[in-house]
A = this chain, B = another copy of it.
Amino acid sequence: MLFAGFNLVSAQTTKDSLQLRNFYDLSLLNGNSYQWLDELSNDIGPRLSGSTGAEKAVQWAKKELESIGLDKVWLQPVMVPKWERGAPEKAHIEGPDGSIDVPVCALGGSIATAPSGVTAEVVEVQGLDDLAKYGEDQLKGKIVFYNRPMQADLIQTFSAYGGCVDQRYAGAMEAAKYGAVGVIVRSMNLRMDDLPHTGSMSYGDLPNDKRIPAAAISTNGAALLSKMLKKDKSTQFYLKMNCKNYEEDVPSFNVIGEITGSEKPNEFMVVGGHLDSWDLGDGSHDDGAGVVQSMEVLRLMKAANYKPKHSIRVVLFMNEENGLRGGTEYAKVAKQEGEKHVFGLESDAGGFTPRGFSFDADKANFEQVQSWIPLFKPYLIHFFELGGSGADVGPLKEEGTVLAGLRPDSQRYFDHHHASNDTFDAVNKRELELGAATMTSLVYLFDTYGVIPPITNEKPLKD
């Protein structure tokens, strides 16, 4: 019996190995992800929520998904906020020998400066906590300059990002409370260069008349400003921004495609990325890569003639960057319709060489994942850890749902994130294709072995 059992396991393992090999071969030899990314990045380009680019991306994705023979493709309406950058920003430091231009960009959601710009002295701080130390006395009428850098000694760069991004998100909201007239934030970038990195910010409950403009400054610009402030505390900074928040939300869509399950059509597994991007580059890494990889998962299943037991959906979420409306709406509708979602996988960490996945799962499901690790070894996929999944699939979390996020190599990600160099040429074809095959393999394994239902009263290992 033991021997028979061993043979059964072994036969299944061989079958799985061959299936994974087939997905990787199809992706590397005849993949479509790179071609799709070329179209999304170079033909459509930037696609901030509410923009013409976003609308074009929706129509393009629908058409492409319709072309690969899925069982259903549809658009799911979702209202999104609209913000526009307007004419390029201007900024300079008033130095002793004249003014020095520095590269800045408005943070997404910021108000504009007055048409004449804002000029003020600068108070450099290392974070939100410093504001109380300076107090209104020293901050009123000033520009607050948040200059805490990302920690270079953290191996996983997303941890370094997480340790800094509060400055960008809440910097203006908090500084406004002390009477500051503007905010400059050091770009979330581990390199020293001349590119400002945008990203979302919030004013929270701050009334309109209390809001102040907020910009990112390049890392080189931040270093220069800091150096000049050390020489002369009264150094002034000039900032001019032309951005605009629209009062009314505008209509947009999540794009959804489905292969209906052969055995459990009413149990859903979702794979997705976000279709919107910031406006400075063409969003190739963030998150064009995740979009085309997610599309490729379903295309590879079709190409391999693999017929899933569960219904597998690709969901291309709208508005991850500045509202998460798409992810929120998808989960809301799923709940309304009583659609049971057992698994969600997101790719939103760049199109670099895949290293593995992080999981939001209970003990039983995480142990099942561990049993699959040897299958991934030939592809140098080694990272299987508990941790976050992704912003867009997050709202699908219920007891027993397994969520996962693709974890590519992260060393170069913040060189490009939300900046003008997040462009097609920064994505390597093979790295992108390896990611698509790795995602397909994980979805295949969950489809084959199922998600283990929760035991009542068991606590999840990680929320």
Q: Which residues of A contact B (CB under 8 A)?
A: 24-25, 28-29, 152-153, 155-157, 190-191, 353, 355, 378-380, 382-383, 409, 411-412, 415, 428-431, 434
**Chain B nearest CB: distance from A352 CB in Å?**
9
Look across to chain B and name the residue whose beta carbon is closest to the beta carbon of A27: B153
CA distance A26 to B119 in the complex (A): 40
B28 touching A380, Cβ below 8 Å: no
* A155:B355 contact, CB within 8 angstroms: no
Knowing A355-B380, A380-B383, A411-B353, say if A191 contacts B25 (CB, 8 Å).
no
Q: Do A412 and B428 have beta carbons less than 8 Å apart?
A: yes
Q: Which residues of chain B are near A380, meaning CB under 8 Å?
A: 155-156, 355, 383
29 A–B pairs (Cβ distance < 8 Å), ordered by A = A24-B153, A24-B155, A25-B153, A28-B152, A28-B153, A29-B152, A29-B153, A155-B378, A155-B379, A155-B380, A155-B434, A156-B380, A157-B430, A191-B429, A353-B353, A353-B409, A353-B411, A355-B380, A380-B383, A382-B382, A382-B383, A411-B428, A411-B430, A411-B431, A411-B434, A412-B428, A412-B430, A412-B431, A415-B428
> Could you tell me the distance in whole angstroms from the C-beta of A271 to the nearest C-beta in chain B?
22
CB pair B353 A152 closer than 8 Å:
no
Docked CA distance A113–B24 (Å):
43
Q: A382-B383, A411-B428, A411-B430 are in contact. List 4 more A-B contacts (CB 8 A).
A: A155-B380, A157-B430, A353-B353, A382-B382
Residues of B within 8 A of A29 (CB): 152-153
How far is B155's CA from A382's CA once the two chains are assembled, in angstroms?
14
For A431, list chain B residues within 8 Å (CB): 411-412
Closest to A412 in B: B428
User: Contacts of A152 on B, CB cut-off 8 Å?
Assistant: 28-29, 430
Q: How far is the CA of A96 from the CA of B382 in the complex (A)?
A: 53
- Return chain B residues, CB-CB under 8 Å to A383: 380, 382
A353 to B378, CA, bound (A): 18
Interchain CA distance A191-B425 in the complex, whole Å: 12
3 nearest A-B residue pairs (beta carbon): A382-B382, A411-B430, A28-B152
- Shortest C-beta distance, A388 to chain B (Å), equals 17
Tell me the complex Cα distance, A157–B191, Å.
28
- Would you give the shortest CB distance from A415 to chain B, in whole angstroms? 7
Residues of B within 8 A of A155 (CB): 24, 378-380, 434
A191: B residues at CB distance < 8 A = 429
Question: What is the minimal beta-carbon distance from A419 to any residue of chain B, in angstroms?
Answer: 15
Please measure, in the bound complex, the distance between the C-alpha atom of A114 and the C-alpha atom of B157, giving whole angstroms: 55
The CA-CA distance from A431 to B24 in the complex, in Å, is: 26
Residues of B near A415 (CB, < 8 A) are 428
Question: Taking the nearest CB of chain B, how far is it from the CB of A99, in angstroms?
Answer: 30
Shortest beta-carbon distance from A219 to chain B in Å: 12
Q: How far is the CB of A323 from chain B (nearest CB, A)?
A: 31
Q: How far is the CB of A42 from chain B (nearest CB, A)?
A: 16
For the complex formed, measure the closest distance between the CB of A339 and the CB atoms of chain B, giving whole angstroms: 36
Q: In the assembly, what is the distance between CA of A409 and CA of B409, in Å?
A: 9
Residues in B whose Cβ lies below 8 Å from that of A24:
153, 155
Give every chain B residue within 8 A of A411 (Cβ-Cβ): 353, 428, 430-431, 434
Residues from chain B with a CB closer than 8 A to the CB of A429 are 191
Q: Return chain B residues, CB-CB under 8 Å to A379.
A: 155
CA distance A25 to B153 in the complex (A): 5
CB neighbours of A409 from chain B (8 A): 353, 409
A414 shortest CB reach to chain B, Å: 10
